[in-house]
A and B are shown apart, each in its own frame.
Chain A
Amino acid sequence: MSEAQTSEAGGYNFAYLDEQTKRMIRRAILKAVAIPGYQVPFASREMPLPYGWGTGGIQVTASIIGRDDTLKVIDQGADDTTNAVSIRRFFARTTGVETTEHTAEASIVQTRHRIPETPLREDQIIVYQVPIPEPLRWIEPREAETRKMHALAEYGPMYVRLYEDIAQYGRVTTAYDYPVLVNGRYLMKPSPIPKFDNPKMDMNPALQLFGAGREKRIYAVPPFTSVKSLDFADHPFAVEQWDQRCAICGAGDSFLDEVITDDRGGRMFVCSDTDYCQSRQPAKAAE
């Protein structure tokens, strides 16, 4: 407890976790960074938020956050979704650090299901909340077996799965949490981001950390590391596209959420990344 910090929320340490726990998590993070894409088991703690609601990401953030950090939390790309609000509030309460909704201003971005549209920089860390860390889980339910498969880089069954999709539907039918190969070695689940976001992971200047609380695993993609979405030479990986543009900011390059506007089939498409959308609105107004 050398650096025991006073508490912002009566009775709890800075960022909730005690210092020994943070040290344990940081060790797991260092190991994860040293072996890109490898899932490091760690002694995940019960958090005051439920499992499946971001406890892995919260523990990673709690272990790396310092007083000078600026935190952004998004869920589905948006800062104002209820769970993002709740997690941002949790850190505001337990650390007192500054929070922001602007991607460019954040030093740490904790996310569920999206990577911001605004490119990340070297001085930023993105923390992903991960529900199921094991990319081979739907192929092999047993952990003892999947760990062996990773050790032997036995990824054939995953290619077979993708091939079966192509044979049956003419394309790979995984639209999110699309498997990637990290640094040419470990197969990794990118967490349930749409495959639209997969290319952003490749050679990203920011450090990418992944926390799975319930499954007790941490993994990482260090800056400027190759992240390749699995594909075949004759069926190259491709991201989804929309026929529409964002109805608010006019963006044609962002992931769009569909919003149902009435009960007669009326719908509109808007950016899922609210910060990106807002930052473009003055631009559109000037047009």
Chain B
Amino acid sequence: MYVAVKGGEKAISAAHRLLAEARRGDPAVPELSLAQIDEQLALAVDRVMTEGSVYDRELAALAIKQARGDLVEAIFLLRAYRTTLPRLAVSRPIETEQADLRRRISATFKDLPGGQVLGPTFDYTHRLIDFALAAESDGVLAVPPTAPVESAPMPRVSSLLGDEGLIEPNPADAREPRDLTRDPLSFPADRATRLQNLARGDEGYLLALGYSTQRGYGKNHPFAGEIRIGEVEIEIVPPELGFPVVIGEITVTECEMVNQFKGSATAPPQFTRGYGLAFGESERKAMAMALVDRALRAGELGEDVTAPAQDQEFVLYHSDNVEASGFTQHLKLPHYVDFQAELNLVRRLRAEWNEPQAEAAE
């Protein structure tokens, strides 16, 4: 009569077979290729690379395929792969000022050196379902040629403001940034550590937190000073050579927010900064990150820390979707023992609670 309630090896194997089958779907429908995912679901690949902290389009596409399109699961796959990789070198800081840009906009100036470049953006599209896309025409799109992006230098908006002293200089910090995957978080966390955490953080989470600052929970009056998307070169300096060598190019999205100014008896009023950076075309993520970065600077800028987005421990401890997803879903694991302990306790408490009532009834 004892029913085996505890699962076993066979059940797990069977579940994995079902998963493989579900992943493939109807075999009559052609299987997705990694190139198709990379080319046609490029923004999903960008997000998985950003939060998975690995710049590898093919690997990210594979993770998306394996995860059946569940991006958080794909990010998890990529992270678990990344964690065992050796660290061969540390690159030099990337120079987004030198980037080969495909998009560059500023909301603070109508025109500026280098101009505004919209690039491939959803902005200003009407969000009407395009039923023509359903036809899978496979035809080559006849795209009329667009004006080439000016090759004129595009100085950063923050540099333009900085020349006049209107914006705070980037806080100088000569310390080597810590590697969050090698040194666990400790508090208070410096800005480099915070930015690392936010760069790996869940896009939806940062979006909601950034949004909350716009609605008054830690308001810091942001302007999108500049958003740039483009290719930057990655350079390393091999110790045996002693000079920088380019090892590849990556696409990044950078957002520099220009925020509420402050001044004091010792410093003239000036604007402050919030910064966001993500792999690929990840504009929403970069903007949200910049808002949250600025909010987290409240303490160092002498502002009251009152809102969730300004609270270092709250923001940084809960940003990682691999951690959050795992811990939330661990509730699926058996908790019979703990529950039994609570069950015994509640029964005892109920019995005691009932005793005086029974006595009173007598």
Which chain A residues have a beta carbon within 8 Å of chain B's beta carbons? 12-13, 16-18, 21, 41-48, 50-53, 55, 75-78, 80-83, 85-86, 89, 112-114, 131, 141-144, 169-170, 173, 175-177, 192-196, 214, 216, 240, 242, 247-248, 255-259, 261, 268, 270, 272, 274
Contacts and interface: CB of A to CB of B under 8 A. Distances in A.
Contacts of A86: 12
A240 B83 CA distance: 43
The 5 lowest CB-CB distance pairs between A and B, nearest first, are A52-B330, A51-B326, A50-B326, A175-B341, A52-B327
A77 to B, nearest CB: 6
Contacts, number: 152
A16 B84 contact: yes
Interface string B1-43: 1110111110110000000000000000000000000000000
B341 A248 contact: no
B338 A113 contact: yes
Given A45-B83, A85-B8, A114 B337 contact: yes
Contact of A247 (B2, B80, B336, B342): B2
A80 B338 contact: no
Contact of B337 (A47, A50, A257): A257
A81 B7 contact: yes
Given A51-B323, A143-B317, 7 more contacts: A46-B82, A85-B12, A113-B338, A143-B313, A175-B342, A195-B341, A214-B323
Contacts of B188: 144
Contacts of B11: 82
B84 A18 contact: yes
B79 interface: yes
B341 A131 contact: no
Nearest to B52: A46
Contacts of A272: 336-337, 340
B5 A82 contact: no
A193 B338 CA distance: 7
Nearest to B1: A261
A13 B188 CA distance: 35
A25 B5 CA distance: 36
Contact of B340 (A51, A177, A194): A194
Contacts of B182: 43
Given A50-B330, A131-B330, A261-B3, A17 B84 contact: yes
A166 B337 CA distance: 23
A268 B345 CA distance: 18
Contacts of A114: 337
B80 A175 contact: no
Interface string B344-362: 1100010010000000000
Contact of A113 (B1, B7, B323, B337): B337
Contacts of B345: 173, 175, 240
Most buried by A among B7, B80, B84, B337: B337
A51 B84 contact: no
Contacts of B187: 142-144
B93 interface: no
